[in-house]
């Protein structure tokens, strides 16, 4: 798979350019350096329907759900009070931001519980958080949907809470904040969760979080690589690859993962993955298909976070527009910036509509 770099491309979303036609044109300038994009449209097109699917909310009454992160205070600028206010709001403040940015609906990820070491507490807080979130969403059902918080410290309890949240509360899947107790979701003990998720057609969104201290330690002398610079993406991509390599999708082919940040770099490495797998002894593979097939069939990706337009072009080329959903990573990323980057990305009008709203409507069964 070749990822093209685009230099100074004029974007006209009214002109339908097919993926193959566009990539053929873009390849002609692939060798040119990336330049400033003053010539690319800066403003969104009139009234597109936008559904954003990695938008964050944390129950303000729930403390202690984050792992200790001394590197945050040592190496990073503090978050703003405005962002702190917004992450605990599911009312007028958030709705005002959505109206300003033309967001028709947010699919909200709930409180991350994976850092909690007390399993009973995690189970209790999952139910409480989901109930509070459901009650808030009930006030604005046309503007908000949700991913459930699930206590992956106990796989059976996580599966049960996912089912309750989907069937009783109308949630669209679950969002997990990385590993619980240092364990990836590829272990046999989690088969009950993936089996339930497949039966419910409820995707599991694996959101970045810190790796275990032993994995984090080699970065200590290069703290610029902590967090969303590099470590989170590598940890999350590794998590998804481990689930694939475990054969979980052979056992439960209808199970689905969602990855943000354009798939945590996985789409750009499909050829490399398959090349590597071709050199593995057959008895050591443990999976029925090539890695790229699972990534294309069992992983949806979103546009959350900062990215450059050429990265989204690469993701569309690798995954297809049907496997990508729009997201802004609210409130951590300015939604207007996310929209600007999306609007600057050359694609057909059909693909733009799929990513902005059509795929979320189909895959998450949301209605706006």
Strand partners for 107: 145
The torsion defined by the Cα of 238, 193, 289 and 212, in degrees rounded to 10, comes to: 10
Distance of CA 82 to the CA centre of its chain: 23
Of the residues 210, 329, 334, 351, only one is catalytic, namely 329
Q: Which residues of 68-77 are buried (b: 16+ CB within 10 A; e: fewer)?
A: ebebeeeeee
| DSSP string across 239-286 | HHHHHHHTTHHHH-TT--EEE-HHHHTGGGGHHHHHHHHHTS-HHHH-
Our answer to whether residue 329 is catalytic in this structure is: yes
What are the residues whose beta carbons fall under 8 Å from the beta carbon of 10, sequence distance 6 or more? Answer: 39, 40
Cα separation, 41 vs 77, whole angstroms = 31
Task: Return d(Cα 4, Cα 313) in angstroms, integer.
Answer: 8
Residues 197/365/112/156 CA torsion (nearest 10 deg): -20
Cα atoms in the Cβ-side hemisphere of radius 13 Å centred on 126 = 32
**What residue has token string 């049960």?**
160
**Which residues are the active-site residues?**
329
């Amino acid at each position: 798979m070749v990822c093209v770099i685009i230099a100074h491309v004029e974007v006209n979303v009214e002109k339908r350019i097919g993926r193959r036609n566009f990539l053929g044109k873009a390849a002609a300038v692939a060798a040119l350096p990336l330049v400033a994009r003053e010539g690319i449209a800066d403003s969104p097109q009139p009234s597109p329907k936008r559904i954003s699917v990695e938008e964050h909310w944390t129950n303000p009454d729930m403390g202690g759900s984050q792992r200790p992160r001394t590197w945050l205070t040592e190496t990073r600028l503090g978050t703003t009070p405005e962002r702190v206010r917004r992450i605990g709001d599911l009312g007028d403040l958030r709705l005002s931001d959505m109206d300003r940015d033309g967001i028709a609906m947010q699919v909200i990820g709930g409180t991350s519980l994976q850092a909690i070491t007390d399993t009973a507490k995690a189970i209790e807080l999952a139910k409480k958080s989901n109930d509070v979130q459901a009650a808030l969403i009930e006030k604005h059902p046309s503007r908000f949907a949700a991913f459930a918080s699930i206590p992956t410290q106990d796989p059976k309890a996580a599966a049960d809470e996912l089912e309750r949240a989907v069937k009783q509360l109308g949630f669209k899947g679950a969002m997990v904040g990385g590993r619980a107790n240092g364990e990836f979701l590829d272990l046999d003990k989690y088969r009950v969760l993936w089996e339930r998720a497949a039966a419910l057609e409820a995707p599991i969104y694996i959101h970045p979080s810190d790796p275990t201290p032993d994995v984090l330690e080699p970065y200590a002398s290069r703290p610029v690589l902590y967090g969303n610079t590099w470590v989170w993406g590598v940890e999350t991509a590794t998590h998804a690859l481990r689930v694939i390599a475990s054969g979980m999708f052979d056992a439960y082919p209808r199970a689905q993962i969602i990855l943000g940040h354009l798939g945590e770099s996985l789409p750009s490495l499909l050829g490399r993955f398959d090349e590597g797998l071709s050199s593995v002894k057959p008895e050591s593979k443990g999976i029925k298909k090539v890695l790229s097939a699972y990534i294309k069939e069992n992983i949806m990706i979103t546009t959350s976070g900062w990215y450059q337009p050429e990265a989204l072009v690469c993701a569309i080329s690798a995954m297809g527009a049907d496997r990508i959903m729009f997201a802004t990573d609210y409130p951590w990323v300015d939604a207007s910036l996310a929209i600007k980057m999306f609007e600057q990305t050359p694609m057909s009008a059909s693909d733009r509509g799929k990513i902005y709203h059509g795929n979320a409507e189909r895959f998450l069964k949301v209605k706006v």
